[in-house]
Structure 1
Amino acid sequence: MNVQSLLAKSIAASMLIASGTAFSADVTNKQVVEHYADIAHAVFADSLATAKNLNKSIEAFLAAPTDAKLMEVKQAWLDSRVPYQQSEVFRFGNAIVDDWEGQLNAWPLDEGMIDYVTSDYQYELGNAGAKANIVANTQLTIGASTLDVSKITPALIADLNEVGGSEANVASGYHAIEFLLWGQDLNGTESGAGNRPYTDFVLGEACTHGNCDRRGAFLRAAGQLLVQDLEWMEKQWSKEAKGNYRQELVNGSADNGLRKMLFGMGSLSLGELAGERMKVALEANSTEDEHDCFSDNTHNSHYYNEQGIYNIYTGIYKRQDGSLLSGPSLHDLVNQKDKVAAQEIQKQFDQTRSQVGKLVTSAEKNNQHFDQLIAAGNAKGNKLVNETIMSLVAQTEQIERAAKIVGVNSLNPDTADHEF
């Protein structure tokens, strides 16, 4: 299933909230927190399933590389981003997710650490690992350390994250895989994504850019590590597992559970999505700060981040198999206390999701992707991004309003290490 059809399905599903699917009976704080955990498990389970599909595509491609098979792997990567980006709303307030997330979704990265790049590529100043090129070398010297990288395994690339003390040294996760599939995007703020040839993975004399065996080994290991990490997190939210994070959350204070939910929504809405992922890139006109910068998939990543926030407020999640998960929600709690406010808050959520959706329309219908929208001199594109930022700010204000209505006066949970 392609990303566009998944987008359409998620829109149709979450619009059900506006047509009266919210629970009519009074719901409790505890029920809402338990359903929040249910959604978390479903999202991570879907992320795991799509990562496994990605791995199958990687194996099929590496067995006999062709351009058509590379396209299939790329589509599997794009599909895997859909549920994962909806999981990021669980990061903030749930330290177990935030501490783990960096190995899966760290960005921006200095791609020269992984593989070949152009001689003029921009990297973090002072980063000794920025041009390490693991694919081309079996031994690395970074600072005072000499590292044996002769055998590329999931454990090795996990250990190489932030080697030399630089956060830009990212060896694992979605964006490392993205770079290996697409290569550098050399188009700047012009149209076009990365264009790595499939022959970069062909063994023998047809290999381009050398070290095709090691490049394939890196791609395989990164995919395997992604699945391993997601398997662990899926178990943390499972009802069947004992002594996991889910049990800790649902057996703890329901009020603090609501606080985690609202804090996560607000932090992703304002500080992360509006701030780090949009405003920073817009103000610097920097494609290096674009989220999915190699594949030009940033519009979808932004959209599904917003969809994740929407899921938690409405209590509705459209699963990858087409089934609908719904239950007691924050919207229900607000509606029980103030029906007028509930309608106004829901209206802002709908408006913001529609506004973020305009980034998708710009890319898919008008061929104006996020890296083009943030270009200096693109007044219309800059305006669209800025309007989206302001809509996310307005949404965050309504999240704070909802918090007060349901009795959460201090939004920071006990474990919070972020601010809005």
Structure 2
Amino acid sequence: MAKKDYYQILGITKSAEEREIKKAYKKLAMKYHPDRNQGDKTAENKFKEIKEAYEILINEEKRTAYDQYGHAAFENGHSNNTYSTFTSSSDFSDIFGDVFGDIFGGNRTKRAKKGSDLCYKMEILLEEAVKGTKKEIHIPTLQKCKKCHGSGASIGTKPYSCSTCNSKGQIHIRKGFFTVQQSCPTCQGRGTIIKHPCNGCHGQGRVETYKTLLVKIPPGIDDNDRIRLNNEGEAGSNGAQSGDLYVQISVKKHPIFEREENNLYCEVPINFTMAALGGEIEVPTLDGRVKLKIPCETQSGKLFRIRGRGVRSMQNRNQGDLLCRVVVETPVNLNEQQKNLLHELGKSFNDFRGENNSPRSKRFFDGVKRFFDDLTR
């Protein structure tokens, strides 16, 4: 009698990936397992068929041979592979351990675990963010023990394999029909037992310590940006790779400048004489002072752009601009002579509503008049 196609047995396509093969096998194995169908020869034979198909298709070399030669690849001495029935509880637990656990991301061993990533918050000045700097930091961390090099065992000794779990770190406990996988109580999931712990780390392979790092802050870094330092995080357990350290940047508020992307903004106060007649003032930049020409009849809130005085971008190295917003300041603490001069000036403006001297005021009051006229119609 000709054998059925292995792909048809598992109900998958020839392009099925490893994950699909395992998922299909788990589903069928649970359905036809002898423990669920005691005394049913048909189910037992079906289960053997499913297992045989799975063991061929899950193996890359065997699957390639089967795809090329079919069942003939395992006949006439081409393979010494034999197939046994699933009748023991340990075999049944493999359905959960190897297949079920693999489908849902399970990991049967926990011998080594990468260290955790750490985050360090650093506050810097705006000048430091724009120009770049170097900062020395001290961070608490778990580091690999130098005495045992992370093994946890004292000098001259080595951890030995756990006999309870056969170095797997996990054991399977049968509870009725189901099998539960849990960490080995003897080795706590490590897979090994340390008979002579290191006196430096007490068998943990890691010790608490402080370390000093020099962090290079690149020019143009912005608020909430992060710098990653590879392998400077917490040390891994049992000699595994260390995590990373992330330096979270916080830029302190500046008394003069505000940053928006690569541009800097600042407010520059001028008196109304300068605003009316024009002139030249000095404005601050992060590289010193520059002169800014104020044209006559400048209104409060006008924005002046000084090109190339902002922040250099980290991405494309383009230089941002400095934008200065002028604010016309009302004079205070006037003496009598200054007050009289202002009174005379005010009269010449026709009570600040002159069309020639105050066009914005005229437009405003004309608009107010039209508004109330419309209400009374």
Provide the TM-score with structure 2 as the length reference: 0.22
Larger proportion of helix: 1
Larger proportion of strand: 2
User: Higher relative contact order by CA 8 Å / sep ≥ 6: 1 or 2?
Assistant: 1
Provide the TM-score with structure 1 as the length reference: 0.20
